[in-house]
Structure 1
Amino acid sequence: MSISRHYVLAAGGTGGHLIPAFALGQELLHRGHHVALITDERGAKIPGAPEKMATHILPAGRITKSPASWLPGVKAIAEGRLMARRLYDSFEPSAVIGFGGYPAFPALLGAFAENVPTIIHEQNAVLGRVNRFTARQVNAIATAYPDILRLSPRYQDKVHLVGNPVREEVLALRDQPYPPMSADGIFRVLVTGGSQGATILSEVVPDGLARLPLNLRRRLQVTQQCRAEDIETVRQAYAAHEIPAELATYLPDLPDRMGWSHLVIARAGASTIAELTCAGRPAILVPLPSATDNHQSYNVKEMVQAGGARAIAQTQFTPVELAKQIQKIALEPGALENAAKAAKSCGRPQAVSDLADLVESFGKAPIMHTIKPKHDTASAFAPSPALAKDTAL
């Protein structure tokens, strides 16, 4: 018999932090638990949150190298910590799970103060700043890669390799075969720069595809996600090269697109790589050089070493180099299929289930009643009507 508990997930306002949080939230809801999310205003706008997961917005102080950020940053963190403690007093979480990003910091500090068990999940191959700050005090550290930079060896006894949770629609692709590709069949290429798009892909990919040999170029069918400010320029470039391309600023059916693609050209965000390896799709990856601690350059290593992807540094990402790398993988018989198998070998499809098992292994006594009425938290810590999808937890 399953026992219902309350859990709080805390994640920063980017898709990279929130997508795995949403996946875990959905899994915990499926298991009969109650789940709340702590994030910031940006995070509250990211689509994909489970309908029955209440969303709470906390101040997320950001302390940078500039002294001007120190005082307001500390004040915001202290305010967020107090608000989190008030929520925990009424919600009585069995555990708080942090997924990185600044909004997770005050949520975890509040959990430490209330002696609530804590777990952090690191999506990237480099331990993020908030996770580094809290690693010593948390009960468990869940990782997406076997080797994590900036993770102190003294914490190894509480590290659990689970992988990076992905959407159910992506998990379903794992049971589908790699799309067949004959010598003269359509060659489907998917180009995506993540939730925000990537201008460098818009600038390089059309011209790179145009440099492919004629017999390969004529077989192309491209789907590309672009920034709004880039899309018309990209459309004109493909038209000039006579390459059929479908362009959009957002691809709500991205898992379906990935399912029929033969090759993906993308950034190297943790969620992107997790989806590629779960689905088993070969890729050419261009790490974002400005990513914190250059973590995208480390994210690609496992997939590249297995043979499932090729990585091109942005400084070397030119139309000529892109065309050269595509030819190496697309013109050699069986190379794409072998790369797809190699990518799939890196996938961890049980990530969300394993993470949920880990979460359930920590925690206070089962919750046997609903929210206590002893505090009026509605005025101190209430989600807006538009964001609180299920306030009667």
Structure 2
Amino acid sequence: MTSETVQPVQTGASRHFVLAAGGTGGHLIPAFALATELEARGHHVALITDERGANIPGKPDSLTAHVLPAGRFGKNPFSWINGARAVMEGRNMALRLFESFEPSAVIGFGGYPALPALLAATSADVPSIVHEQNAVLGRVNRLLASRVEAIATSYSKVERLKPKFRSKTHLVGNPVREDVLALRDEEFPAFTEDGLLRVLVTGGSQGASVLSDVVPDGLSMLPDGLRQRLQVTQQCRSEDVDRVRERYASHNIAAELGTYFEDMHERLADTHLFIGRAGASTIAELTAVGRPGILIPLPIATDDHQAVNTRDVVKAGGARMIRQSSFTPKELAKQIQAMAKNPSSLANAAHGAWNCGYPDAAKNLADLVESMAGIDLMDVVRVGETNPRAAKVANKTQTATRDASQKDVAA
């Protein structure tokens, strides 16, 4: 596995790429970041996703979304037949798209909607890559690991990634939004003995009722000197807003509540302490910016991947992890006091989080993608043995380019 930063292609060659991702922010945020980077390099990009993904906020205006059917495979085996039919229908639709769009590579970001596009890439002999945002290889990426030319990871250690795939595994990081990444070089907001302690609380795209249940009472248990300096911003589910507002009012704690904040990057810029779930995009943004956190992994996350996501940043001192079963007001107050007992301790935690960030993730992933496009990159991102199919595609493209040039000269 490698983490080297590689240089982007300087040939000026334009290529077509297809990105395929499930319809959640965790899959689509890095896909959007990659699309922006590839378009900035002069390439053309299309997106394959589901209905939810086609309408999710944050999609670049220039990125055309194609909605394909994608079956799900749950625990009930009787659902697999319909799931397989939907996948094959999506695969055939993707093949028709490839005929007109002619992609140089297909990049999957996980989620079942990515499956048809990547199966189509195999059928059409188009190079493919999967990007894993979490510290545990997801189901779709595990299924496709043997078929793709490269596996891009966000963590140096990824569970459920078989050792035999190490030669085609590349550590690139998890791309984040440009407005968040722009905060990386800004100083951690000043936190003094008598200044405000600004706390940001989010539970992911759907909110989390457990945060609404625990956080207001936990903050009320802080010592008076700290509690009176709190300024809280909390994302809640719509059905929780009124009762959470009442809890904060009863504790005399200043709090702004909402179901969605469009200016989340601005709020993150002013944040001293984050409290929330441990999704891949959340941790990527906290580490890109350098904000300490108290992380409560979603207990039903597949393969407990949210808990594994916290491993590096907790080890670096940039966050504390509390299992939901132990997430009580008393435990939360205890962990906040430990992190914010003095200005330097919170600043040190912020630096620990910052050190875990991958600010060049979008560029690194774009470099890897370009290496699959048949452009001579002098093997700058290769690890281990060169993948035979990728080499074949590159050789075919280079031969065609050479032959075309010779014909021009002859003419």
- Asked if Structure 1 and Structure 2 have the same fold, meaning a TM-score greater than 0.5 normalized by the shorter chain, the answer is yes
Q: Which runs of 5+ in 1 are unaligned?
A: 369-393
Is 2:69 the counterpart of 1:48? no
Question: Which one of the candidate residues 188, 196, 200 is aligned to 1:178?
Answer: 188
Is 2:99 the counterpart of 1:81? no
Question: What is the rounded CA distance, in whole Å, between the counterparts of 2:233 and 2:77 in structure 1?
Answer: 45
In angstroms, what is the RMSD of aligned CA positions?
Answer: 1.1
Q: Per-residue displacement from partner, 1:90-112 (whole Å, max 9, x unpaired)?
A: 10000000000000001100000
Is 2:172 the counterpart of 1:165? no
Question: What is the rounded CA distance, in whole Å, between the counterparts of 1:353 and 1:363 in structure 2?
Answer: 15
Q: Per-residue displacement from partner, 1:308-327 (whole Å, max 9, x unpaired)?
A: 00000000000000000000
Partner of 2:393: none
Is 2:150 the counterpart of 1:134? no
Is 2:235 the counterpart of 1:225? yes
Equivalent position SS for 1:173: coil
Contact 1:308 1:339 in 2 (8 A): yes
Alignment of 1:270-349 (within 5 A): 270-349=280-359
Q: How far apart are residue 331 of structure 1 and its match?
A: 1.2
Q: How far apart are residue 181 of structure 1 and its match?
A: 1.0
Is 2:77 the counterpart of 1:67? yes
Q: How far apart are residue 115 of structure 1 and its match?
A: 0.3
TM-score (norm 2): 0.88
Question: What is the rounded CA distance, in whole Å, between the counterparts of 2:335 and 2:92 in structure 1?
Answer: 52
Contact 1:116 1:363 in 2 (8 A): no
Question: What is the rounded CA distance, in whole Å, between the counterparts of 1:232 and 1:149 in structure 2?
Answer: 41
Question: What is the rounded CA distance, in whole Å, between the counterparts of 1:75 and 1:262 in structure 2?
Answer: 49
Is 2:241 the counterpart of 1:238? no
Partner of 2:23: 13
Question: What is the rounded CA distance, in whole Å, between the counterparts of 1:317 and 1:5 in structure 2?
Answer: 49
Q: How far apart are residue 42 of structure 1 and its match?
A: 1.4
Partner of 1:372: none
Question: What is the rounded CA distance, in whole Å, between the counterparts of 2:192 and 2:83 in structure 1?
Answer: 57
Runs of 4+ in 1 over 6 A off after TM superposition: none
Partner of 2:258: 248
Partner of 2:223: 213
Contact 2:191 2:343 in 1 (8 A): no
Question: What is the rounded CA distance, in whole Å, between the counterparts of 1:289 and 1:332 in structure 2?
Answer: 31
Q: Per-residue displacement from partner, 1:176-218 (whole Å, max 9, x unpaired)?
A: 0001111011110000111111111111000000000011000
Q: Per-residue displacement from partner, 1:230-278 (whole Å, max 9, x unpaired)?
A: 1111111101111000011001111111111110001000000000000
Equivalent position SS for 2:182: helix
Indicate the percent of aligned positions where both proteins have the same amino acid.
64
Question: What is the rounded CA distance, in whole Å, between the counterparts of 1:92 and 1:290 in structure 2?
Answer: 39
Contact 2:54 2:65 in 1 (8 A): yes
Question: What is the rounded CA distance, in whole Å, between the counterparts of 1:130 and 1:333 in structure 2?
Answer: 44
Partner of 1:97: 107
Q: Per-residue displacement from partner, 1:56-77 (whole Å, max 9, x unpaired)?
A: 0000111122022111101001
Question: What is the rounded CA distance, in whole Å, between the counterparts of 1:68 and 1:135 in structure 2?
Answer: 26
Contact 1:11 1:99 in 2 (8 A): yes
Q: How far apart are residue 332 of structure 1 and its match?
A: 3.5
Equivalent position SS for 1:191: strand
Equivalent position SS for 2:245: helix
Q: Which amino acid aligns with 1:268?
A: A
Question: Which one of the candidate residues 14, 33, 42 is aligned to 1:23?
Answer: 33
Equivalent position SS for 1:157: helix
Q: Which amino acid aligns with 2:308?
A: Y
Contact 2:107 2:130 in 1 (8 A): yes
Question: What is the rounded CA distance, in whole Å, between the counterparts of 2:152 and 2:326 in structure 1?
Answer: 34
Question: What is the rounded CA distance, in whole Å, between the counterparts of 2:248 and 2:270 in structure 1?
Answer: 21
Question: What is the rounded CA distance, in whole Å, between the counterparts of 2:213 and 2:56 in structure 1?
Answer: 26
Is 2:274 the counterpart of 1:261? no
Q: Which runs of 5+ in 2 are unaligned?
A: 1-10, 375-396, 401-411
> How many pairs does the alignment contain?
367
Question: What is the rounded CA distance, in whole Å, between the counterparts of 2:273 and 2:20 in structure 1?
Answer: 34
Q: Which amino acid aligns with 1:16?
A: G
Partner of 2:387: none
Is 2:362 the counterpart of 1:352? yes
Q: How far apart are residue 333 of structure 1 and its match?
A: 4.6
Question: What is the rounded CA distance, in whole Å, between the counterparts of 1:352 and 1:196 in structure 2?
Answer: 26
**C-alpha distance 209-355 of structure 1, shift in aligned 2 (>3 A):** same
Partner of 1:106: 116
Q: How far apart are residue 30 of structure 1 and its match?
A: 0.8
